[in-house]
Structure 1
Amino acid sequence: MTQQTFSQWTLPTTNGVDSLTFESNIPLSSIQPLGRHEVLVNLKAAALNYRDLMIAKGLTPGQIQPNIIPGSDGSGIVLAVGPSVSDFKAGDKVVTHMCPSLPKDQPASMTDISAGLGQTLPGTFRTHGIFPSTALVRMPSNLSFEQASTLTCSGLTAYNALFGLSSHAVKKGDWILVPGTGGVSIAALQFAVAAGATVVATTSSDVKAGKLKELGAKHIVNYRREKDWGESAKALLPSSYAAGFDLVLDLGGNETLPQSLAAVRPDGLVVCAGVLGKADAEMVPMMSALWRTCVIRGLLLGTRQQFLSMNKFIEEKDVRPVFDDEKVFKLEEAKEAFALLERQGHFSKVVVTM
């Protein structure tokens, strides 16, 4: 018998995690019938992003839809499709795409992300939801729902960072530097290793250093012990790579960019994909690229076409995205999941199951 009710979280106000409100036993009929281009999904897992925390606090760019259902990352099973939907059918396993209004090959801007799932459009922290068909892609066949739920933001950002610029796409034999143990960094580590590259990773935790080694990192640099960790990482390169790394992933913005620039080789690539460092860090001028003679690329998320390419790569290389499986939360425990993310007590991704 088909379930007739569902549960969800909403955000009536933006005063922090405590603003989240849980609602249950909502009639499924209240969100039906389906539009012509819509898909009804029974969500099985969702993953948290730093963006979700900022939305809960009202600190993200752009307007926040009142009573928004939070979350952009999710996976589940299609229950029904609208009459004009040809890409999916009942029973298909799917993953959400944050920016459904974008053309297939168009990169996302901050405006597009603000208009996406979990901020303007209803998100993934619910057991059932109706989504535009363009907000979904087929789930990689080798993944669990929990693994697949990590792909929407962190996975796609990492894939774009490594392979999105064709002239500097990561390949076998390259040396890559990735920072920390957050979702984007861990996905980038896994993708780079799967592509045959050698990865040096940074962390301040000896425990997390062990996990990074298990995932394939060749060397670990402790950025708290090594003030000039960019140079320390570069010193680990073989003599043929003494000039620097082929690609450096930067997620700290102005706080970490000087170290990233110190680590990259001439004509290498520094990918700026986050601003998680100190907000009051001194601004790094663009002329820094001239002194390093490198390429600096900024990006947000990735395109729908890149999402499809990433999923094919995941299947072909049998990549199994890592999340913090020491504590997987139930939907009713979402506030605890947000709290874990806020205190940065997690490894890679925080996942909620329905």
Structure 2
Amino acid sequence: MPDTTKHYFWSQRGSFDHLFSKESPLPPLKSHEVLVKIHAVSLQYRDLTIGLGRYPGNFPDELVPCSDMAGEVIAVGQDAGSQWKIGDRVCANFAADHIAGETSPEIQKTAHGGPIHGVLTQYKAFRPHSLVKIPDHLSFEEASTLPCAALTAYNALMGPIPVKGGDVVLIEGTGGVSIHGLQLALASGARVIVTSSSDEKLKIATKLGAQHVVNYKSTPEWHERVLELTSGRGVDHVLEVGGPSTLEKALKCIRVGGWIHTIGFVGGGTPTDVVFPTIRKACHIRGIQIGSVAQFKDMNRLLALHPEVTRPVVDKVFGFEEARQAYEYLQSQAHVGKVVIKVA
């Protein structure tokens, strides 16, 4: 049993220069906990905004960053039940206490890498109910992309009105949530339109199966092109990741009765704009706040059914000592899919 763990922490927020690592004592495992050796951590846009001081909320001192991990169970407390055994490969849910159903203010306070310490550490204890088995066909690096990016896309597209064969889904961008959304929509039989400012990224989206692509840099009124591609009807679902810079156009090309799933604000925005409150309240238009353990398990069954179509796209893997470089690379937006830090 390890008695120390090396981990990253924010000495203060506002710059990547304040991201440091150190070795700290590992608290004795409580009887109701499961100890996990973390193998890989994937980065989210949320991790950037928290580190740069642009994400509101109350955070612990010397916050350990990141919400998404994949690892291996190495110890099980005597009162932790029989669900987990040594050697099991697991992810932790984004919000530790989001077991099923809707979120709540109390559940929101259990989100890793924000209200509670995150997972960019060699070892971490979890309560058994927050863990989910990793699909057998995925590596630790691939599985580390599931808790936030994949589950967010799944929650959006498989929510109150699930995407179905024949639907048209508009995917904004080619980041982590967007690529997972593209794959899940295709696995569900939908027709997919992807937007990006990069023709090279759009080529990758086409290779992954997107039927239509639109460069919003060369086609500023991209919503008009989307309407053309749908014969004026509009799309059934939009994965809205841009924020204020894209929401207006998304509203112009959604069909009557369609669903706009607000997920992020990578195109710019502040906590006071209209997009952020919809995410915080998980309300309609449809604000998305990741998903529950129950949804995570449902998603994993879909991934196992379509292993190649839904295989996570990992753009680049950084070493544990290269965490700052990983953050900088994510901020550059040069990636397609996910940026991962290999911990073990």
- TM normalised by structure 2 equals 0.90
Contact 2:96 2:110 in 1 (8 A): no
Contact 2:99 2:294 in 1 (8 A): no
Task: State the alpha-carbon separation in 1 of the partners of residues 108 and 328 from structure 2.
Answer: 23
1:228 aligned partner: 221
Task: State the alpha-carbon separation in 1 of the partners of residues 109 and 334 from structure 2.
Answer: 26
Q: Does structure 1 residue 337 correspond to structure 2 residue 326?
A: yes
Q: Does structure 1 residue 93 correspond to structure 2 residue 89?
A: yes
Q: Quote the offset at 1:3 in angstroms.
A: 5.8
Q: Quote the offset at 1:102 in angstroms.
A: 3.2
2:186 aligned partner: 193
Structure 2, unaligned runs of 5 or more: 276-283
Q: Does structure 1 residue 273 correspond to structure 2 residue 269?
A: no
Deviation sequence 1:156-202 (CA, Å, 0-9, x none) = 1100010011xx21111111110011111111001001111110100
Paired letter, 2:8 = W
Q: Quote the offset at 1:246 in angstroms.
A: 1.3
Distance 1:259 1:15, change over 3 A: closer
Task: State the alpha-carbon separation in 1 of the partners of residues 159 and 31 from structure 2.
Answer: 33
Task: State the alpha-carbon separation in 2 of the partners of residues 192 and 108 from structure 1.
Answer: 27
Name the SS of the counterpart of 1:98 in structure 2. Answer: coil
- TM normalised by structure 1 equals 0.88
Name the SS of the counterpart of 1:338 in structure 2. Answer: helix
Matches within 5 A, 1:3-14: 5-14=4-13
Q: Quote the offset at 1:106 in angstroms.
A: 2.9
C-alpha RMSD of matched pairs (Å): 2.2
Residue among 207, 214, 231 paired with 2:207: 214
Q: Does structure 1 residue 58 correspond to structure 2 residue 57?
A: no
1:320 aligned partner: 311
Task: State the alpha-carbon separation in 1 of the partners of residues 5 and 239 from structure 2.
Answer: 40
Length, aligned pairs only: 332
Task: State the alpha-carbon separation in 2 of the partners of residues 57 and 112 from structure 1.
Answer: 24
Task: State the alpha-carbon separation in 2 of the partners of residues 122 and 153 from structure 1.
Answer: 16
Residue among 78, 87, 92 paired with 1:83: 78
Q: Which has the larger radius of gyration?
A: 1
Q: Does structure 1 residue 298 correspond to structure 2 residue 287?
A: yes
Q: Quote the offset at 1:351 in angstroms.
A: 0.3
Q: Quote the offset at 1:276 in angstroms.
A: 2.4
Contact 1:108 1:302 in 2 (8 A): no
Contact 2:317 2:342 in 1 (8 A): yes
Contact 1:62 1:114 in 2 (8 A): no
